[in-house]
Structure 1
Amino acid sequence: MNDTTSNDMTSAPASTRYTLWQLVRYMLALGTWGFGGPVALAGYMYRDLVERRGWISESDYKEGLALAQLMPGPLAAQLAIYLGYVHHRVIGATVAGLAFVLPSFFMVVALGAAYVAYGGIGWMQAVFYGVGAAVIGIIAMSAYKLTTKNIGKDKLLWAIFLVSAAVTVITKSEVVWVFLGAGVLVWLWRAPPKFGRNLHSFAAPIAAWFALDTIDWHKLGQIGAYFAYAGTFVFGSGLAIVPFLYGGVVKEYAWLTDRQFVDAVAVAMITPGPVVITTGFIGYLVGGFWGAVVAAIATFVPCYLFTILPAPYFKKYGKRRGIVAFVDGVTAAAIGAITGAVIVIGQRSITDWVSAALAVITIAVLWRFKKFPEPVIVLIAALAGLVLYPLLGHH
């Protein structure tokens, strides 16, 4: 697997393959139509930018995925920022990130306004019933593809994958030490280091983590501080932020009721783009439009900084055997965590035989028709939910 890395680099296209504007258009489209959560979005970026268009080399993509896993914050948004960085540096990272996040932000603000105006959304639960089940199928297929592509027959990576999946299922959260430990383990196993400066690239951002939870003005200040804290400490998939937010938004601050919180997660699932954008919806319910703006900015700024600050080190040292081994280990742990998350979220989304059947049908369709567009599946699942949910005696 390591041999291909250098080949990828030699054949990697120069930045002439595409313009920054083309990348921005792609990210806007993905932010508008990209359903299925972080894993699926990362999968679309691989399919479209590496396989189909050849804009990004395989090794650059893998580096971006590993960096997004290592640094806290939403996976898909960080990967988008990193892919913008690859050929267009900070400007590319900034506009690619904004293009990816803005469409879903405007959608959740509009839904938030409707939600506040009409006092809770009954039909949304019906839609979520269908979409939640289909999304599990989509994520399960993405996890399967990532596993077969990145882990192959490597026994050490398989062991890491299984441990990471088990930890995620048991703790129902992502444990950063599993990612870091996996990276270090593969690094020591494959390329025992001559200790030096290889690791300083990971140390720099860590110092910034603890400096964010200090603001405490009025509610906007609270929202800003809390969501910056959430954006700073949540690793891996955007779905990992859900249990974390529940603790703060419902239990600690009592900004929302249980029911409102579940609806907020439903909104994140039925809108495309990064799942973390649920913070915009929660912000809207707590503090209106500016609450949404503050919550979204506070969640995404840490992840933006955590991507562009280490990126130059990743580009400079990323080809070294030690770093490649470290990246492979982290990637295996990340894919394990994602697979575990399928089970955790599945337990919440699949509540009866009908939703289980919807999930299985989704997997079957994606398995049989490789190119079947996910948004179509999500739409059909939403309609199925609207029809079936009331018939099953829910109201």
Structure 2
Amino acid sequence: MRTTAAVTPSYSLGQLVRYMLKLGTFGFGGPVALVGYMHRDLVERRAWITDDDYREGLALAQMMPGPLAAQLGIYLGYVHYRVPGATAAGIAFVVPSFLMVVALGWAYVHFGGLPWMQAVFYGVAAGVVGIIAISAYKLVNKTLKTDKLLWAIFLLLAVVTIVTESEIAWLFIAGGFVNMFYRAPPRWLGRGGVNALAAAHGPALGGLMSGIDVSLLTQIGLFFAKAGAFVFGSGLAIVPFLYGGVVTEHHWLNDKQFVDAVAVAMITPGPVVITVGFIGYLVAGLPGACVAALGTFLPCYLFTVLPAPYFKKYGRLPAVKAFVDGITAAAVGAITGSVIVIARRSIVDWPTALLALVTVLVLWRFKKLQEPMVVGAAALIGLVVYPLAHL
């Protein structure tokens, strides 16, 4: 069984780290663009990575929970330099955008009350609703197609997210199992009593843990580790999950602060999931930002490194693929539901409603337009419109 390329690499680990630092600093355009840059630079131009290894890494990143681009970067570091390479590549890719959101968090805390900052986020929050809406539409078309069962899972999660204004994590797993049992029922299904019992009591155990009085940093670490384990389908999948925990359950942020946090993720390079650093900073300063980021990215790191040696053998099994398809449908449903939830908070008058609609139309018409440009335009509009709307 071949796991990764066994030939001597034509590049040093230092060269790969420098590339990932550069990509993490200037890599705008979202996960699809980022993985495209990696193929262009590392496979086509520099020939550091074979096309086979790249495709296997991309398939693993799509199958496992975690932000797509970050996981692919981790896997590409693993190809020739194993765990040290995966670790160094992952850190180099994430650190630049983490530092940016922490700096923005500091500015937000110190200047967030100023009229110009309020005006910026007045426009940006409405623009973000449009961005998430068009992203949800693209994900629906890409993942569901005409599959009736996946559509049913999608609709269920969308409705649950809208009604509860939160994301119920165990429903993701349930969606995966339902699709797996229907498409490719495993042979051990009849012997799954113990596993089913453990799964059924999982949520109850989570409720028990939530009643334990632990320090704030520990709470942050546990919550964001759970969040990081359920980022399926797109980095945006974490948005409804975070809203349910950060705003509804723990009351660490209010609605406006949360929407601003999502906006910050849109205007910075790197993975959308990096918004957790901004949220952590607002909740508990720099220690909170570090704990939130570590808690979120550690699961995706482990979900990449641990199965990497075995993925070629087991990753294409029908049962595994069906399970992932079900979870992905659930994630897309939650993202779609979160559009409604966030819109209720961000669209506060007719100018914000119009801005959100225009954002959708612009992104629909100009498909290659990068999101930071849209967010920047929304910020400028907010600076002009906010004072007029609040005379």
Offset, 1:32: 4.0
Pairwise mapping of residues 43-58 of structure 1 onto structure 2 (< 5 A)? 43-45=32-34, 48-49=37-38
43-52 vs 376-385, greater mean Cα deviation: 43-52
- 5+ residue gaps, structure 2, are 45-50, 232-236
Instruction: Look up the equivalent residue of 1:87 and give its one-letter code.
Output: V
Cα 1:260–1:177 shift into 2, 3 Å: closer
- The equivalences for 1:324-343 within 5 A come to 324-343=321-340
Q: Distance in 2 between matches of 1:17 and 1:238?
A: 37
For 1:48 and 1:77, the matched residues in 2 are separated by: 10
Helix, strand or coil: the match of 1:120?
coil
The structural deviation recorded for 1:316 is 3.7
Q: Which residue of structure 1 lines up, in the alignment, with residue 368 of structure 2? A: 371
Structure 2 residue 31 is the aligned partner of structure 1 residue 42: yes
Q: Would you say how many aligned residue pairs link Structure 1 and Structure 2?
A: 363
Gap change, CA 1:302 and 1:57, over 3 Å in 2:
closer
Task: Find 2:176's aligned residue among 159, 180, 183.
Answer: 183
The normalised TM-score by structure 1 is 0.73
8 A contact 1:60–1:86 mirrored in 2 = no
Name the aligned partner's letter for residue 338 of structure 2.
Answer: A
Q: Secondary structure at the match of 1:173?
A: coil
Note closer, same or farther for the CA distance 1:29–1:266 as it changes in structure 2 (3 Å cut).
same
* 1:3 paired residue number: none
Match of 1:66 in 2: 63
- Shift of residue 352 of structure 1? 1.8
Distance 1:259 1:161, change over 3 A: closer
Structure 1 residues 25, 172: closer, same or farther in 2, change over 3 A?
A: farther
Change in Cα spacing, 1:267 to 1:331, as seen in structure 2 (3 Å) is closer
Aligned-pair distance for 1:304? 3.2
Tell me whether 14-23 or 344-353 shows the greater mean CA deviation.
14-23
Determine the C-alpha separation between the residues in 2 that align with 1:34 and 1:359: 25
2:349 to 340, 352, 367: 352
Residue type of the alignment partner of 1:222 = S
Selected match of 1:87 from 76, 79, 84: 79
Letter in 1 for 2:344: Q
Contact 1:78 1:307 in 2 (8 A): no
* 1:340 CA displacement: 1.4
1:147 aligns with 2:136: no
Q: CA RMSD in A?
A: 4.3
Which residue in 1 is equivalent to 2:242?
A: 241
Partner of 1:194: 187
The 2-side partners of 1:105 and 1:14 are apart by 33
Pair 1:362 & 2:359 matched: yes
Distance 1:168 1:118, change over 3 A: closer
Comparing 275-284 and 323-332, the one that deviates more: 275-284
TM-score normalised by the chain length of structure 2: 0.74
The structure 1 segments of at least 4 consecutive aligned residues displaced by more than 6 Å after TM superposition are 12-23, 50-54, 198-201, 256-262
Please tell me whether the aligned partners of residues 128 and 262 of structure 2 are also in contact (alpha carbons under 8 angstroms).
no
Moved more, 315-324 or 305-314: 305-314
SS state of the match for residue 187, structure 1? helix
Structure 1 partner of 2:164: 171
Counterpart Cα distance in 2 of 1:179 and 1:261: 23
Q: Secondary structure at the match of 1:371?
A: coil
